[in-house]
Amino acid sequence: MGAVASLSLLQTHGLTRRYGGLTAVDNVDFALPEGQVHALIGPNGAGKSTFVGMVSGRIEASEGRVEFEGRDVTGLPTHKRIRAGMAYTFQITSIYARLSLFDNVALAMGNRNRDAATEALARVGLDDRADQIAGDLSYGHQRLLEIAMGVAQAPRLLILDEPTQGLAESEIEGFNAIINALRGQTTILLIEHNMNVVMALADAITVLDQGAVLATGAPEAIRADAAVQAAYLGSG
């Protein structure tokens, strides 16, 4: 596995999370090559958020290992993994609602450089609102702010947990453009329900079902996969 390992930014080996008798994530081996936009899909309760939670350190793994940049980070607390180059945006918008957009981005960057903050906000088209209070933004704009915060961290790996949830069609187009602009600079792991977004953005797809990897491959192959169709039709 040596040659493959050296190309992977992120790897998991036998990653497992149990809650009592329930196995939310079951022995997942996963490899994410540097520079890829990788979508993680699957029905509700498939273990997608738990999986990325273990990758980022929010959730402790019951078994298995996480390797980031070839280094075992399984035992590292969250903040050290983030410092090592991961960024994570929450499924349920998590911003500093009572602080300004500038403050939000400044905290993400770790400094209060006005120009850099404006640039980060410009990526999502919010640069003219830097001094507004984040909680006053519309829902869609709050989601964009959270993405801007993730990008402002200049991560090696950007984990987006259902970023388009609740966005309008026009806003989704904007989101796609943001991700395309990041393509090649940042490796992206995207949890997404909207298959149009997945097909438009992903270089590769992994399907989780009942905590286990059902299939992984190029978008066309996944679309044609019978087992995937079965899982999504609810017979699995």
Partner 1 sequence: MSAAQKSLALHLGLIGGLFALAFILPTYHHGNFARIMVLATYAIGYNVLFGYTGLLSLGHAMFFAAGMYGMGLAMQYGGVPALPALFLGIIAATILAAVVAVLALRTIGVAFMIVTLMFAQTGFLTILYFGEWTRGDEGFVLQQKVRQIAGLDLSDPMTRYLAAWVLFSVALLATARMMHVAFGGVLVAIRENEERTRMLGYNVFAHKFAAVVISGAIAGAAGAAYGLLFGYVGATFASVQYSIFPLLWVLLGGAGTTIGPFIGALFMFYLIDYSSGLTSAYMLIAGVALVLLTLFARAGIAGEIKRRWAPWLP
> Judged by CB under 8 A, which of 29, 112, 128, 185 binds partner 1?
112
From the centroid of its chain, how far is CA 40? 9
**Helix or strand run (H / E) with residue 6:** helix 2-7
Q: CA 141, 147, 152 angle in degrees (round to 5)?
A: 120
For partner 1, which is the closer residue by CB, 11 or 56? 56
In angstroms, what is the minimal distance from the CB of 165 to partner 1? 17
Options 106-114, 137-145, 183-191, 219-227: segment touching partner 1 (CB under 8 A): 106-114
- C-alpha distances (whole Å) from 46 to each of 43, 152, 157, 191 are 6, 30, 22, 11
Residue 16 is encoded by which pair of tokens? 């497992």
Q: Does 114 bind partner 1 (CB under 8 A)?
A: no
Q: How far is the CB of 214 from partner 1 (least distance, A)?
A: 28
Question: Could you say whether residue 115 binds partner 1 (CB under 8 A)?
Answer: no
User: Using alpha carbons only, how large is the chain's radius of gyration in Å?
Assistant: 18
Distance CA(230)–CA(218), nearest Å, equals 18
Residue whose structure tokens are 């039709």? 233
Counting contacts by CB under 8 A, is residue 95 touching partner 1? yes
Report helix angle 114-122 to 139-152, nearest 10: 130
CB nearer to partner 1: give 40 or 215: 40
Which residue lies nearer to partner 1 by CB, 3 or 92? 92
Please say whether the beta carbons of 156 and 145 come within 8 A. Answer: no
Instruction: Tell me if 90 contacts partner 1 by CB under 8 A.
Output: yes
For partner 1, the binding residue among 31, 55, 108, 222 (CB under 8 A) is: 108
Least separation in angstroms between CB 97 and partner 1: 7
Residues 153-172 that bind partner 1 (CB under 8 A): 153
Q: In the bound complex, what is the minimum distance in angstroms from residue 20's beta carbon to partner 1? A: 23
* Window of 23-31, 42-50, 67-75, 80-88 that interacts with partner 1 by CB under 8 A: 80-88
**Residue whose entry in the numeric block shows the structure tokens 């984990």:** 159
Say how far apart CA 131 and CA 125 lie, in whole Å: 14
User: Cβ-count burial of 186 within 10 angstroms (0-12 exposed, 13-18 middle, 19+ buried)?
Assistant: buried
Q: Within 21-60, which residues bind partner 1 (CB under 8 A)? A: 56, 58
Note the residues at the interface with partner 1 (CB under 8 A).
56, 58, 77-80, 82-83, 88, 90, 94-99, 103, 106-108, 110-112, 149, 153
